[in-house]
A and B are shown apart, each in its own frame.
Chain A
Amino acid sequence: MANTHANDRIELTREVIPKAALARDIRGNEDGAVATFDGCVRNHSHGRATLHLEYEAYESMALSKMREIAHELHSHYAINRVAIVHRLGRLEIGETSVFIAVSSAHRAAAFDACRHAIDTLKKTVPIWKKEYFADGAVWADGELPPAPGQTRGTKPASN
Chain B
Amino acid sequence: MLVKVLYFGRLKEVSGAPEESVELCDGARIEDLFTQCALSRPELRKFRSSLVAARNREFAAWDTPLDPGDEIGFLPPVSGG
Partners in one complex: yes
A57 to B8, CA, bound (A): 8
Q: Count residues of B near A (Cβ-Cβ below 8 Å).
A: 31
Q: A126-B73, A127-B79, A142-B77 are in contact. Are A58 and B62 (CB under 8 A)?
A: no
For the complex, would chain B's binding face be called helix, strand, loop or mixed by DSSP majority?
A: mixed
Q: Which residue of A lies closest to B52 (CB)?
A: A147
A129 to B72, CA, bound (A): 21
- Asked if B37 is at the interface (CB within 8 A of a chain A CB), the reply is no
Within 8 A of A (CB), among B8-67: 8-10, 31-32, 35, 48-54, 57-65
- A interface vs B, CB < 8 Å? 39, 55-58, 60-62, 64, 86, 97-98, 118, 121-130, 139-152, 154, 156-157, 159
Name A142's contact: one of B48, B49, B76 (CB within 8 Å): B76
Name B35's contact: one of A139, A151, A157 (CB within 8 Å): A157
Contact B73 A139, beta carbon cutoff 8 Å: no
Residues in B with CB closer than 8 Å to A159 are 48-49
A55 to B66, CA, bound (A): 30
Contact A139 B61, beta carbon cutoff 8 Å: no
Contact B61 A129, beta carbon cutoff 8 Å: no
Contact B54 A118, beta carbon cutoff 8 Å: no
- Most chain B CB within a 10 A radius of its CB, from A55, A124, A125, A144: A144
A145 to B8, CA, bound (A): 14
Q: A58-B54, A128-B9 are in contact. Are A148 and B60 (CB under 8 A)?
A: yes
Name B61's contact: one of A55, A60, A148 (CB within 8 Å): A148
- Most chain A CB within a 10 A radius of its CB, from B8, B31, B51: B8
Residues in B with CB closer than 8 Å to A62 are 80
Residues in A with CB closer than 8 Å to B61 are 147-151, 156
